Chain A
Amino acid sequence: MSGEQAKLNRKDFVSDQDVRWCPGCGDYAILAQVQRVMPELNIPRENIVFVSGIGCSSRFPYYMNTYGFHSIHGRATAVASGLKLARPDLSVWVVTGDGDGLSIGGNHLIHLLRRNLDINVLLFNNEIYGLTKGQYSPTSRMGQITKSSPLGVADHPFDTVSLALGADATFVARTVDTETRHLQAMLTRAVEHKGTSFIEILQNCPIFNDGCFEEVSGKGSRIENQLVLEHGQPLLFGPEDARMGVALGKDMSPQVVSMDSTPAEQVLLHDETNEALGFFLSRLERPEFPVPLGVIRAMDRPIYEKEVMAQAERALSEMGKPDFNKLFCGGDTWTVE
């Protein structure tokens, strides 16, 4: 039963529940990659907990044969924070979406990222509310026609990565539901990172927002639009015969340059620890620029639960073991004979 025994495989992480996402939903692919990566982590299955809020993505815990908590809308990050603080020994995962995580749960998300608990957050971004049948979300694009925006979305969307970086996340990555290898690599990196790991997974909703990420996932367009980041490597994209690079213009603005006519040293090198570069990448706007995929930021900062544990240890060493009778008599006392 214990994970310390025979090595687990993907099937060990498949629960007995029927998966009930719509046919063709990007969530299937993500679930499969998570189940595939789990055995590689060498974490006993009983020590893994998936926590979710509300939305299509939030059904995720029911399909994982681990411990799971399907909580309420937007609050998975808060539930997970309490769980991780009470049980730092557990591997805690949050599965959320663009509505759950960025709209109703935006507050808890930014504070989790700021505190930097060692929790892995997977945000499935499909730029739409799926479970409530097709209203616009905080990542829907301006002008987008949805059930609740028949004349087009009037509000400006969040860029998920910019938001996470702005909240001082220590690990931010972006990947795509259909890029199975890349998705697996990002999951592995997220687990390796100590502190909150935040992955935005661009995910297709075939029912209410089909093709929303066609430019980065489509067979014809993905090569031209994916800027795959590698630490220490130049920011290059596009087909082999027409390589393009991202450079810094004289006015500090990003520029796409053709590698045919540009010296290689003019192209920016990716650095996961460079905060300014992270912001720079997160502001590259479609369609003028490619979509950065990969680890945008990875840096070390004190981990919240470790700080809390250190305080408890300090309290123990300074104030001693719990002594309730001493505590009860802590104020002024008097004795009635």
Chain B
Amino acid sequence: MAEVPSETNVREKPVEQIDTVVIRFAGDSGDGMQLTGTQFTNESAVAGNDIATLPDYPAEIRAPAGTLAGVSGFQVNFSQGRVFTPGDRPDVLVVMNPAALSVNIADLRDGGILVADSDAFTLANIRKAGMDGDPLADASLNKRVRVYSVPLTRMTTDSISDMGLPNKTMVRCKNFFALGLCSWMFNRPIEQTLTWIESKFAKSPALVEANTRVFKAGWNFGETTEVFVHTYEVKPADIEPGTYTNMTGNRALALGLMAAASKAGKSMFFGSYPITPASDILHELAAHKNFDVTTFQGEDEIAAVCSAIGASFGGALGVTASSGPGIALKGEALGLAVITELPLVVVNVQRGGPSTGLPTKTEQADLMQAFFGRNGESPLAIVAPATPVECFDMAFEAVHVALKYMVPVMILSDGYLANGAQPWKIPDYDELPDISVRYWKGDLGFHPYLRNEDTLSRPWVIPGTPGFEHRIGGLEKDYDSGDISYDPANHERMTRVRAEKIERVSEDLNPLCVEGSELGELLMVGWGSTYGALAQATEELNAEGLATGHLQLRWLNPLPVEELKRIFARYKTIVVPELNMGQLVRILRERLLVDAIPVSRVQGQPFKVGELKARVKAIVEEGR
């Protein structure tokens, strides 16, 4: 077997320089495509590219093999420029079977590269994917894209046939052949992958050897065969100096919560119930019990949030996380946190709804739920990170707000942020700000609803504090004594105070930042994970001559109404693209009396930049 050249070796084949590449790996859910994509992403990050990823997998863990329902995909965009999105259409599509081809081929751009495991294109598999005849031999396909039929399974088993492994085990290594081939094709540094294989399969030396050999075989296949005439290179991006790591939104949230709790000197209590796509937050936190983090897997979503409220009552930082259906179940308890004015952080990693909906797909349709999804007047502070790495910063801010104002804060993430990865410039923990927690220092005249004049927060006096024994609860309390009160005027006063507390959070928030044109034809207003698509579209629209501004809101409650009015006045048309049927746009129309126009998409997928631009341009045209 030929030696794999190291990065410094002179390559045998010519290298073509390109700016940016979008590659999608697709196969059966058992084919290891998520792993292949993730590892390719890591190689690209190490190569210094800017990256964005989009994992796309079915809700079924193992749908019947070879079926359309079982297709799992992972897309990564890597570039020497700035990357905002995982890309609309892949330049390269790697498919492990006919079903993966059938599901994904329409997305592959004209002139793109298709790499297919020809061994998987058996008559039975082709029929299972609902096709007649071998699609790889299809003339129109071969005219549209460059097709590389590679006997990937056979070459995988050939390269390790002497190891005495069962055939099934050998075949399962084939994703490493694909990874090796693509690593060769795009000149990726491979040392990191080799090290990773060693640690990932540390328990089985045979698997380390098998996967390493298959990976190298894939590399060598590219290098030595006549099939591929040249490789591609994407130069490192111009990225701010620093140490980086690849970060998903869920992991960033977990780390941000932990760091903030620590900076506040608080134990963190995380009550949770397994739900896609939020469970990874629980997994991450459960792995760091040496950081004064208690994780509690409750019997249901209600137990999860109630235990967090109980922990906050006891003086810990209570946190709970779920996705839309789970947040619906938590609704009543969130009202309890509102009326007892306890600090609580609630993470909603949104997914397609209603009901079970699209568990593994992304959507932003829980904004109204965050604002109004509880009985009574029960405002929460609401914040939405715009990128996976921003999940760290927003989690940190959310903890700060919850502790300072004694309010529940909801963080609206979504499936796309949760599983999407991005290079994270690793912060220095020591340089993160401290979060101060105010405790009751007075003595005489204590009652549990005495308010701080600035924040209107009530004092957090925790059990164990002698002399201040008190009772709180879900019944309305008297403003002046903290006792149960059914007084009509008192209820209105307390209702207004709870709302005013949220408004006062504004004082801690950063001013809004408009990207793109500071004034002009069009302002796109977004929130949450649509940031990348909107930013990319804004760049392109401005380049095309349409003066476009882009405002991505982080804090949604409180909403800086006056500041928004000033910004909106600078543009002719206000468009609000959202992955829902128009939720933020309703809030903006109601709060600002502005004729903002919705652009909706509810397909369980992020915006495609091309489509978004076309729809926005049509709106601008119509307005002219």
Contact = CB atoms under 8 A, between A and B. Distances in A.
Contact of B310 (A78, A325, A328): A78
B307 A82 contact: yes
B611 interface: no
B603 interface: no
A330 B224 CA distance: 37
A29 interface: no
Contacts of A192: none
Interface stretch (B114-122, B459-467, B540-548, B586-594): B459-467
Contact of A51 (B290, B292, B310): B310
Nearest to A334: B46
A329 B46 contact: no
Contacts of A2: 466-467
B365 to A, nearest CB: 26
Contact of B429 (A68, A328, A331): A328
B310 A86 contact: yes
A320 B302 CA distance: 33
B299 A82 contact: no
Nearest to B39: A332
Contacts of B427: 328
A315 interface: yes
A72 B426 contact: no
Contacts of A17: 483-484
A15 interface: yes
Contact of A45 (B302, B469, B484): B469
Q: Is the interface of A mostly helix, strand, loop or mixed?
A: mixed
Contact of B294 (A308, A327, A336): A308
Given A90-B463, A336-B244, A83 B289 contact: no
B244 A72 contact: no
Contacts of B236: 336
Interface string B288-300: 1111101010111
A318 B290 CA distance: 9
Contacts of B241: 335-337
Given A82-B269, A336-B241, A67 B463 contact: yes
Given A66-B469, A69-B473, A334-B243, A85 B48 contact: no
B443 to A, nearest CB: 10
Contacts of A334: 45-46, 48, 243-245
B311 A86 contact: yes
Interface in A1-18: 1-3, 15, 17
B256 to A, nearest CB: 11
Interface string A86-130: 110110000000000000000110010000000000000000000
A328 B314 contact: no
B598 interface: no
A171 interface: no
A44 interface: yes
B402 to A, nearest CB: 15
Given A78-B306, A321-B290, A83 B314 contact: yes
A61 B473 contact: yes
Contacts of A111: 298-299, 303
A123 to B, nearest CB: 18
B426 A328 contact: yes
Contacts of B291: 322, 324, 327
Contacts of B473: 52, 61-62, 68-71
A318 B468 CA distance: 39
B84 interface: no
B314 A87 contact: yes
A98 to B, nearest CB: 19
Given A44-B466, A81-B296, A86 B288 contact: no
Interface in B302-344: 302-303, 306-311, 313-316, 318, 332-333, 335-336, 340
Contacts of A252: none
Interface in A290-337: 308, 311-312, 314-316, 318-322, 324-325, 327-337
Nearest to B299: A111
Given A78-B303, A87-B315, A46 B464 contact: yes
Given A86-B294, A328-B429, A335-B242, A79 B310 contact: yes
Contact of A82 (B196, B259, B318, B336): B318
B243 A69 contact: no
B243 A82 contact: no
Nearest to B465: A46
Contacts of B170: none
Interface residues of B, number: 71
B290 A315 contact: yes
A320 B269 contact: no
A308 B297 CA distance: 12
B472 interface: yes
Nearest to B295: A308
B296 A329 contact: no
A61 B471 contact: yes
A111 B300 CA distance: 10
Contacts of B245: 328-334
B338 to A, nearest CB: 12
A77 to B, nearest CB: 8
Q: Which of B302, B307, B428 has the most chain A CB within a 10 Å cutoff? A: B307
B262 A322 contact: yes
Contacts of B463: 46-49, 67, 83, 87, 90
A75 B429 contact: no
A217 B192 CA distance: 76
A319 B293 CA distance: 13
B466 A69 contact: no
A202 interface: no
Contacts of A331: 245-246
B255 interface: yes
Interface in B376-420: none
A334 B241 CA distance: 10
Given A86-B314, A332-B46, A75 B471 contact: no
A183 interface: no
A322 to B, nearest CB: 4
B68 to A, nearest CB: 34
B244 A46 contact: no
Interface in A205-246: none
B474 interface: yes
A114 B37 CA distance: 42
Nearest to B336: A72
Contacts of A49: 314, 463
Contacts of A329: 243, 245, 426
A51 B258 CA distance: 28
B493 interface: no
Q: Which of A66, A329, A330, A332 has the most chain B CB within a 10 Å cutoff? A: A332
Contacts of A82: 269, 271, 296, 306-311, 314, 318
Contacts of B289: 311-312, 314-316
Nearest to B46: A334
A336 B429 contact: no
B303 A108 contact: yes
B243 A78 contact: no
Interface string B436-472: 0000000000000000000000000011111111111
24 contacts: A47-B464, A61-B473, A64-B471, A67-B469, A68-B471, A71-B306, A78-B298, A78-B302, A78-B306, A81-B296, A82-B306, A82-B308, A82-B314, A83-B463, A87-B315, A87-B463, A107-B299, A311-B289, A314-B289, A316-B290, A320-B290, A327-B258, A335-B242, A336-B48
Chain A to chain B: the 6 pairs with minimum beta-carbon distance, closest first: A70-B473, A82-B307, A82-B310, A68-B471, A78-B306, A324-B429
Interface of B: 42, 45-46, 48, 192, 196, 236, 239-246, 255, 258-259, 262, 267, 269, 271, 288-292, 294, 296, 298-300, 302-303, 306-311, 313-316, 318, 332-333, 335-336, 340, 426-430, 462-475, 483-484
Given A17-B483, A51-B310, A334-B244, 17 more contacts: A2-B467, A46-B467, A64-B471, A67-B470, A68-B472, A71-B474, A72-B306, A79-B306, A79-B309, A83-B311, A85-B269, A90-B314, A111-B298, A111-B299, A327-B291, A328-B426, A334-B48
